[in-house]
Structure 1
């Protein structure tokens, strides 16, 4: 039997459905859902984890022995060396109060004296999902080989490596392979399992290093802030590798806001229209001095134009500019674009994850902004037209024209940028899901289209000797804007006026 380990239950089900020659059979090992099926004539079973099944932690103490040096002891009795600097005091100590022990330092309790030792204490891994580990080991005993099919990124590699370590405890000699994929389409899952690779232990180690840094930073600084600044354990002040610098940015911005001293200013604005123009054809004009900081100067200028009925066109300037199509979506740019449409970053990622698990979009946690040469962009556009009638006319134009995808500044080799797979049924999506899916689909098409041309008309007017200006943009050549209207201002058509 081939054991396939996925990161989540939904992923395990999706993989079984994509690979199975028939309909997978849902089953249970203890209380864990699994999916049995046949693939290439071999019995297979997929099991979904719940993310990380092991959690980093510390032992209860660091101990010192003249021969062995500093070390910690796990619950299983394993001795782990501790790289404690020579400058830290060694036992025996002059006091018996906590955290001092006869042979070392207790790092379990929250004591300021233990923090220098906690910084250098060895990190251990403890079971975070005991039932899943039990089920995983049960299946491993009955299996002939293992395929790690967790997400293809640093965290996914670590989750797969941790799962493999638990498998090795009961089946040390099982052959192991790795399936790498970026979407749950049948074609990509099949391709991934037809071209298995090895688990990247270096990538897993990078993920584990990040875990260790988060634990050490968080544990030491949280305890220090709480004990030294906020009165003890009952008034915890959390610190973290990401949250603390982020909080600093927020505080810095808030201080800037609080230090801002508002200044009064005055503006002079009005409405104008060409002679004999309809009421709806009026346009906004503003004094060339956008903001008067001198009230007397503003009142003088206003006195010159108050009640004016006519204006003379001093100049008409037309300029065209090209607006380049956007680059492919990475995680941060997707969150920014979605926020502009009223979807918070956290909700964006929840929805994107659900779209990914449903096979409608590619993996949503990426930095890459360059489509790989292996991605058949034309095929994706063709498939998108079939499942999304509203986009079919734009898809047709994309396929008919030269397809030159834009490129962002970041290119990686793990996952492609976020794009719609062209599979699934978007019509079944709810409001938030449909809104985000449309944003992703339209952004994808926009990256394959040409620039838009926008013409700006600027009118300079003389109103009783006071200079006024009016300006408006008109979309002349839609280009990528036919697919991606987000952020596009409404046309501001200026009347056909001439100088004088």
Structure 2
């Protein structure tokens, strides 16, 4: 490689690097390899340029190697040990490529994802390339969609890299490493003789509060006391419509039987009350990351992590906008009419899109605006055949959800009629409720949210209805269901556990650790997850309470706003968790006994887990994170 480049564009993914080469080139591009990494040469405005894609972070924080021997290091020492930057495992070729390229240019455009995580990676790139060429100039490209217009606009409006965002990311990495490693080692070493070789008990300041929500709901289920109660149900016929009405008679079986015997042979009932109300149902607000994950779980039965992975791929290929956003308000610069116009012939929605475009657009809006990205929206039309062939059926379903949600935000309200009837059956008042869609409105393009219709006849007070059948049912009160992933994401959002980019990862980590499983959209704790959570809750409850992580996230957000120094935030949080560590350590004899009992139940005598954690890093070597090449210390 001997060419000199007027500029080098570094992206977070190879597909985005290819998009820059395709959309910015004067007359095509040429694929080359730099230190084994695919890159793209092209001419822009007559000058030779290069774009290259990474695979996310290239650097990471770790402890010096001597601190990664668990048996020889008191976990408490980690609170006083400064992590160092190392090359991530598998990222060596990217580091070599960046250093090689740095010597062949004077200008680098950092086109990493436009969020704090992307800014963190941008500063990793700056650190690596500056080491090889201290004279480099760095600029930041910020974009929300991989389209020709968006990428060209990003290049026209380059900005300075933001150290505050990068420092927020670095501070979180340092805190999660230190806190997670210290408590994981303390817990694991306290029961090492009961654990199969190579296995460990992990703790995470985000991971464990998520487990708290799951176990809390499971305990509510266990504490539910089931009760029997009795219901009279009458099947009725009025105005040619068959419907059912019922009344709860309570828990007294004899009294219920007495009432039933009085009414079971009656042939007519009289309407004593008839109510109807027309209600308008507003379309959904624009889509952010958490809502995309929540609705994909609810409507499509696709797990949050898989949803975001698919959305990332759709974004990289130019089908949707950037999928990591908190915003639920369309910015005035977004041409909604143009975007909707892509879908005038799309699937079964084209006729309704044309109707939308025939009037003034009045999109819904939420309350959140991260000032970085618009809500998630489609950036081009694609057919089911095209996307299924290219990315698979699930990708089509996620894309379809994004498109339909976007169109719904531009749509009319739906109109529902809610009905209530009260009928008198021999002095016993029974109730019936109905619902019908009068005008579908946004349901035309958003069938996921359309409610099931229950038809009742149009009757007025005094009308007689025919009694077809009367029965007495014994029913049981039901415990609350296990928490769903949809509910879990909403709680994480409410308490500030993680970010829009990481929430699904914290769920996934618990599943990987075998602390809970997901079945039919519900999160069910394993014996190990439940025992670990309850043990911590009873000894040092702050370690599992979501409010603690919420305060940490608020402090990290202050770094991003430039209101706090990263060193001060890290120091303060570590001092807080050191106090929790000492409390836990003082209660380890009791806690260890509790964990041993749980581990005996989980692993048994043969060392095989019933819902336990899988080994990581092999059986011979216990390390929290693998260290790569040693690097520098400190924040940006």
What TM-score results when the alignment is normalised by the length of structure 2?
Answer: 0.68
Q: Which has the larger radius of gyration?
A: 1
**What are the superposed Cα offsets for residues 454-475 of structure 1, whole Å, 9 maximum, x if unpaired?**
1112111112221112121122
1:200 equivalent in structure 2: 162
Deviation at residue 151 of structure 1 after TM alignment: 0.2
- Are 1:18 and 2:26 matched, yes or no? no
**What are the superposed Cα offsets for residues 256-275 of structure 1, whole Å, 9 maximum, x if unpaired?**
22222111122222321125
- Are 1:429 and 2:387 matched, yes or no? yes
Within 5 Å, give how 1:349-388 maps onto structure 2.
349-385=308-344, 388=346
Q: Is the 8 A contact 1:112 1:224 kept in 2?
A: no
Distance in 2 between residues matched to 1:296 and 1:428, nearest whole Å? 64
- Are 1:459 and 2:421 matched, yes or no? yes
1:249 equivalent in structure 2: 213
Deviation at residue 425 of structure 1 after TM alignment: 4.8
Deviation at residue 423 of structure 1 after TM alignment: 4.7
Structure 1 unaligned runs (5+)? 62-106
Distance in 2 between residues matched to 1:352 and 1:228, nearest whole Å? 42
Distance in 1 between residues matched to 2:362 and 2:192, nearest whole Å? 58
2:353 equivalent in structure 1: 395
* SS in structure 1 of the partner of residue 26 of structure 2: coil
Structure 2 unaligned runs (5+)? 463-636
2:260 equivalent in structure 1: 302
- Are 1:32 and 2:37 matched, yes or no? yes
Match of 1:293 among 233, 237, 251: 251
Q: Which has the higher helix share?
A: 2
Distance in 2 between residues matched to 1:187 and 1:425, nearest whole Å? 22
Q: Is the 8 A contact 1:112 1:227 kept in 2?
A: no
Greater alpha carbon shift after TM alignment, 198-207 vs 400-409: 400-409
Deviation at residue 411 of structure 1 after TM alignment: 1.2
Distance in 1 between residues matched to 2:265 and 2:286, nearest whole Å? 52
- Are 1:212 and 2:170 matched, yes or no? no
Distance in 1 between residues matched to 2:257 and 2:359, nearest whole Å? 57
Q: Is the 8 A contact 1:384 1:421 kept in 2?
A: no
Distance in 2 between residues matched to 1:16 and 1:329, nearest whole Å? 30
Q: Between the two structures, name the one with larger relative contact order (CA 8 Å, sep ≥ 6).
A: 2
Deviation at residue 415 of structure 1 after TM alignment: 0.9
Deviation at residue 230 of structure 1 after TM alignment: 4.7
* SS in structure 1 of the partner of residue 342 of structure 2: helix
Cα 1:112–1:316, aligned 2, differ >3 Å: closer, same or farther?
farther
- Are 1:143 and 2:105 matched, yes or no? yes
Distance in 2 between residues matched to 1:491 and 1:115, nearest whole Å? 59
Cα 1:230–1:250, aligned 2, differ >3 Å: closer, same or farther?
farther
Within 5 Å, give how 1:56-135 maps onto structure 2.
56-60=61-65, 107-111=67-71, 114-128=74-88, 129-135=91-97
Q: Is the 8 A contact 1:370 1:410 kept in 2?
A: yes
Distance in 2 between residues matched to 1:426 and 1:23, nearest whole Å? 29
What TM-score results when the alignment is normalised by the length of structure 1?
Answer: 0.85
Q: How many residues align?
A: 448
2:51 equivalent in structure 1: 46
Within 5 Å, give how 1:164-183 maps onto structure 2.
164-183=126-145
Q: Is the 8 A contact 1:17 1:23 kept in 2?
A: yes
Aligned-CA RMSD value: 1.9
- Are 1:221 and 2:183 matched, yes or no? yes
1:284 equivalent in structure 2: 244
Cα 1:424–1:33, aligned 2, differ >3 Å: closer, same or farther?
farther
- Are 1:331 and 2:293 matched, yes or no? no
2:238 equivalent in structure 1: 274
**What are the superposed Cα offsets for residues 290-321 of structure 1, whole Å, 9 maximum, x if unpaired?**
x6222123222222232432211112111121
Match of 2:270 among 312, 326, 337: 312
Distance in 2 between residues matched to 1:225 and 1:456, nearest whole Å? 55
Within 5 Å, give how 1:181-196 maps onto structure 2.
181-196=143-158
Distance in 2 between residues matched to 1:27 and 1:235, nearest whole Å? 43
Q: Is the 8 A contact 1:405 1:447 kept in 2?
A: yes
Distance in 2 between residues matched to 1:415 and 1:293, nearest whole Å? 55
